[in-house]
Chains A and B, each alone.
Chain A
Amino acid sequence: MKRIFIDPGKCDGCMNCSLACMNAHRAAPVPGTAPDPGATVEEQSVYTLDLTDPTNEARNFIHADGKGGYLPLFCRHCARPECVSSCMSGALQRDQAAGQVRYDPEKCAACFMCVMNCPYGLPKPDQLTRSKVVKCDFCVRLAAGPSCVRACPTGALWIEEVAADTPDLEDVK
């Protein structure tokens, strides 16, 4: 499986990753409408991204470390995902082959046990309707892979191949 790797020391807090995430998850363009006529999701320009659209939240978070540095919080698509364990609707499932935690908003019952159960605090209810979970989807729709990684100007984010499961991984406490 592929995982987004993070070198916090290289993060400059520019939040390009957050913008890229929003851009990848904005509503699909209406064909023939300005300003990106006919663009696919992948082609939509950040120039036309509505930065104040409350329905479009970034799924990654950059925190200041209080010492002048930054700590990027990105979904790890854990081998033993606590969000999936807590999901009572089946909306969150881990695709074992791809090593990715998938979310099906149609199945989700908005209990938000996943929000409570992620030890790293990644999932959140959507800010507008609070009826869906906002969580990284690894940009599965995009052939080029996760947009955040491609948008990072400092090399703080990259993709690496890791073992799909870690059966000997010590149980998460």
Chain B
Amino acid sequence: MNQKFSCTTCRNADAPLGAFIADLPMETAHHRMESQSVKCGFGLQGVCCRLCANGPCRITPKAPRGVCGANADTIVTRNFLRAVASGSGCYIHIVENTALNLKNTALALSAHGGELKGLNALNRLGEIFGITAADPNKKAVAVAEAVLADLHKPEYEKMELVERLAYPMRYKRWRELGILPGGAKGEVFHGVVKCSTNLSSDPVDMLLACLRLGISTGIYGLTLTNLLNDVLLGEPELRFAPVGLRVIDPDYINIMITGHQHSMFVHLQDRLTDPDVKALAVKAGAKGFKLVGCTCVGQDLQLRGAHYTEVFDGHAGNNYTSEAILATGAIDAVLSEFNCTLPGIEPICDALRIKQICIDPVAKKANAELKEFRFADRERLSTEIIEEVVEAYKARRHKVKLRLCAGHGNDNTLTGVSEVSLKKFLGGNWQPLIDLIVAGKIKGVAGVVGCSNLTAGGHDVLSVDLTKELIARDILVLTAGCSSGGIENCGLMTPEAADLAGPGLKDVCKKLGIPPVLNFGPCLAIGRLEIVATELAEALDVDLPQLPLVLSAAQWLEEQALADGAFALALGLPLHLGLPPFVTGSPLACKVLCEDMKQLTGGQVIINPDAKATADILEDIISEKRTALGI
């Protein structure tokens, strides 16, 4: 017998990571899959209702209704709306904090002097919002306030920026369907109320509410968060960067960051490279401080890595890689502010004496110290955090065995892709890409977004397999979310991956020196994909559903992903999911999502756990759209 925790780890698209996890002496999510492999069918189908004291009620042939009389359609859509509302709340929280941080930063800069990092991004936003202030800091304050004002409107007042940000054809359709959202926080509130006990029972009405939440989530939580961050943190710039566990350098004091709110780290990440702070690290025996990227905030930092080359080591991995990153022993502290911070990291942090600090109370981890981020306290908080991290380093490093994995990942993943940097790369407009699509060198575009879960074939398995299938069919893949982390660690975002593409796409990639899969970064960047799609549609003067564009959240994990998915459907895009979102117990919900949605918004849900079969379906859809466009 050896030191391995157990031999029961689940499959992994990333073989070196899989081997690393399988050898660990501690338990991870990958080990727990086996003991959780039998799932309750009622839960899977969404027909378990726990909304009242008569429950849980479950639907069977002999019991087609709950005690209250709710049938499977009502139970399923209530549960679904609850999940979408919750997921929307998460993203709205993110954009609210981001806007607030931009506003506070701009106010501070106004008072003490200084310049924001992304003035071009600010000017573009000002143009969209119709804000013309000459002073950039004042403009930034006005932009942030416009966003906050919309978020804080009641549900019965429509948000004002939707029309400015949305593609006009889409906006028109949304208005026709009556799904233009009121204040985004109000929409979450409204959604949660709608699905409470013995309120709504109309399944279609609840699904339409999901679409409203999808629009507010997408335009504010996704799109605007990126654009505000571009102002605050600097715009993405194309570059090649190392990824995977190899980025961890044990000579430094390493802080793993995880979450979704990059704007909360601004002050700290700048401080970490100041000489006085570096001196603390040197005094403790390290070369300095490094941030190790994990989950979406790591993706966001990677995306903007050109501005943070000194402090940022690189992106190590996605949600279900976080336990492995910590297990290397070379991480001294975890700084988290949101999901996907798995509870499973806690025992590992305990065992390896890793300091856990949370800076947002919405994601207070059980054994983490809460240091709630408040802009006014940023100096003090950064100082305290740095001191504690240094203490953790000193207390643990000589005691903990390192278990590095230098062979994991690669050194040349293309990152920094955004709607702006990509267009710039193409020469300032989308025509080259449109020409390639028209010529059929690139058949279409697929966004492979969302998370990793361990159930759809194993860690990153379906996302990676599907991506390979799609590029082999000359379909350009764009990623956003934890899918990016898995796909990049598997090497599909290196120029060499062009060899895996079909002849057309391969040729394009070789000529341009780019990979066949372009990494837009965090899940928030689904908003950037939407901008790309919108600009392509604009150039062609068609509506979004007409584009040869498909989305896949192959390994969607959480409620946020469902809110994202609702946005995709509102945009009228075909959306593939590897696992059903707990709705199959309702024939009506399935019909609305998979069939009727085509008439409502132009979108549709495709549920399929198989990579090849899914790629076939998505390729067919792209072909149909090409035919309809006459290309």
Direct contact of A and B (CB under 8 A): yes
Give A155 to B63 CA distance when docked, in angstroms.
11
B175: CB under 8 A from chain A? no
A15: CB under 8 A from chain B? yes
Asked if A13 and B39 make an inter-chain contact with CB atoms under 8 angstroms apart, the answer reads yes
Convert B52-76 into 0s and 1s, putting 1 for each residue whose CB lies closer than 8 angstroms to a CB of A.
Answer: 0000001011110000000000000
Q: Which residues of B contact A (CB under 8 A)?
A: 37-44, 58, 60-63
Residue of A nearest to B584 (CB): A68
Residue of B nearest to A152 (CB): B60
A–B pairs, 10, beta carbons within 8 Å:
A12-B40, A12-B41, A12-B42, A12-B60, A13-B39, A15-B38, A15-B40, A64-B38, A153-B60, A153-B63
Chain A, 57-111, CB within 8 A of any chain B CB: 62-64, 70
Asked if B41 and A153 make an inter-chain contact with CB atoms under 8 angstroms apart, the answer reads no
| Smallest beta-carbon distance A96→chain B, Å | 34
Consensus secondary structure, chain A interface: loop
Asked if A70 and B38 make an inter-chain contact with CB atoms under 8 angstroms apart, the answer reads yes
Convert A4-43 into 0s and 1s, putting 1 for each residue whose CB lies closer than 8 angstroms to a CB of B.
Answer: 0000000111110000000000000000000000000000
Give A12 to B39 CA distance when docked, in angstroms.
9
- Residue of A14, A15, A64 most packed against chain B (CB within 10 A): A14
| Smallest beta-carbon distance A158→chain B, Å | 13
Give A14 to B43 CA distance when docked, in angstroms.
8
User: Which residue of the partner chain, among A13, A153, A154, A155, contacts B38 with CB atoms under 8 Å?
Assistant: A13
A14-B40 contact given A153-B58, A154-B60, A155-B62, CB 8 Å threshold: yes
Give A155 to B42 CA distance when docked, in angstroms.
14
For the A-B complex with A13-B38, A14-B43 known, give 10 more contacts whose Cβ atoms are closer than 8 Å: A13-B39, A13-B40, A13-B44, A14-B41, A64-B39, A70-B41, A153-B42, A154-B60, A154-B61, A155-B60
Asked if A14 and B37 make an inter-chain contact with CB atoms under 8 angstroms apart, the answer reads no
- Residue of A11, A70, A154, A155 most packed against chain B (CB within 10 A): A154
Residue of A nearest to B39 (CB): A13
Residue of B nearest to A18 (CB): B38
Residue of A nearest to B60 (CB): A154
Residue of A nearest to B47 (CB): A12
| Smallest beta-carbon distance A92→chain B, Å | 27
Asked if B37 and A64 make an inter-chain contact with CB atoms under 8 angstroms apart, the answer reads yes
- Residue of A12, A63, A153, A154 most packed against chain B (CB within 10 A): A12
Chain B residues within 8 Å of A64, by CB: 37-39
Asked if B58 and A14 make an inter-chain contact with CB atoms under 8 angstroms apart, the answer reads yes
Give A14 to B45 CA distance when docked, in angstroms.
11
Give A82 to B89 CA distance when docked, in angstroms.
57
Chain B residues within 8 Å of A12, by CB: 40-42, 60
Convert A118-162 into 0s and 1s, putting 1 for each residue whose CB lies closer than 8 angstroms to a CB of B.
Answer: 000000000000000000000000000000000001110000000
Residue of A nearest to B37 (CB): A64
| Smallest beta-carbon distance B590→chain A, Å | 15
- Residue of B42, B61, B62 most packed against chain A (CB within 10 A): B42
Asked if A63 and B38 make an inter-chain contact with CB atoms under 8 angstroms apart, the answer reads yes
Give A76 to B212 CA distance when docked, in angstroms.
54
Chain B residues within 8 Å of A62, by CB: 38
Chain B residues within 8 Å of A63, by CB: 38
Asked if A14 and B62 make an inter-chain contact with CB atoms under 8 angstroms apart, the answer reads no
- Residue of B37, B38, B61, B62 most packed against chain A (CB within 10 A): B38
| Smallest beta-carbon distance A128→chain B, Å | 16
Residue of B nearest to A154 (CB): B60
Give A14 to B58 CA distance when docked, in angstroms.
10
Give A124 to B554 CA distance when docked, in angstroms.
38
Chain B residues within 8 Å of A154, by CB: 60-61
| Smallest beta-carbon distance B41→chain A, Å | 3
Chain B residues within 8 Å of A70, by CB: 38, 41
| Smallest beta-carbon distance B130→chain A, Å | 53
Chain B residues within 8 Å of A153, by CB: 42, 58, 60, 63
Asked if B41 and A13 make an inter-chain contact with CB atoms under 8 angstroms apart, the answer reads yes
Chain A residues within 8 Å of B42, by CB: 12, 14, 153
Give A13 to B60 CA distance when docked, in angstroms.
13
Chain A residues within 8 Å of B38, by CB: 13, 15, 62-64, 70
Give A154 to B63 CA distance when docked, in angstroms.
9
Chain A residues within 8 Å of B44, by CB: 13
| Smallest beta-carbon distance A112→chain B, Å | 19
Chain A residues within 8 Å of B43, by CB: 14
Residue of B nearest to A64 (CB): B38
Chain A residues within 8 Å of B40, by CB: 12-15
Give A14 to B39 CA distance when docked, in angstroms.
7
